[in-house]
Amino acid sequence: MLIINGNESDFAGKTVKEMIDFFQYEERTIAVEVNEKILPKQEFTAYRLQDGDCVEVVSFVGGG
């Protein structure tokens, strides 16, 4: 099991790219932290989520 945005999920073994596509996030407007470290976007296709990972996808909307 791993945690994505506070919820238990069974994405272990999937890449971050697969995960963000599943949730329909837009890559240009998000930041992904895995275990409190930013995951650079160029690693989205290579990084495979593991049991115990704590993932936070921060998604931005416009306005400021």
Partner 1 sequence: MQKADWQRALCARHGEKTQEKFNRASVAICGLGGLGSHIAIGLARAGIGKLLLIDFDQVELTNLHRQGYKPSQIGRKKTEALKENLLEINPFLQVEVCERYMQEADVKELLAEVDVVCEAFDRAESKAMLVNAVREFYPQKVLVASSGMAGFGDGNEIHTRKINAHFYLCGDERSDVNDGIGLVSARVMLCASHVALKVLQIIKDGMDKGEQEE
Residues that bind partner 1 (CB under 8 A): 28-31, 33, 36-38, 40-41, 56, 58-64
| Least distance CB 50 / partner 1 (angstroms) | 19
| Least distance CB 34 / partner 1 (angstroms) | 11
Q: Of 50 and 59, which CB lies nearer to partner 1 in the complex structure?
A: 59
Q: Where are the beta strands (DSSP E) in 1-64?
A: 2-4, 7-9, 30-34, 37-38, 54-59
Q: Of 51 and 64, which CB lies nearer to partner 1 in the complex structure?
A: 64
Residues in the chain: 64
Distances from the Cα of 45 to the Cαs of 6, 22, 64, in angstroms? 22, 13, 31
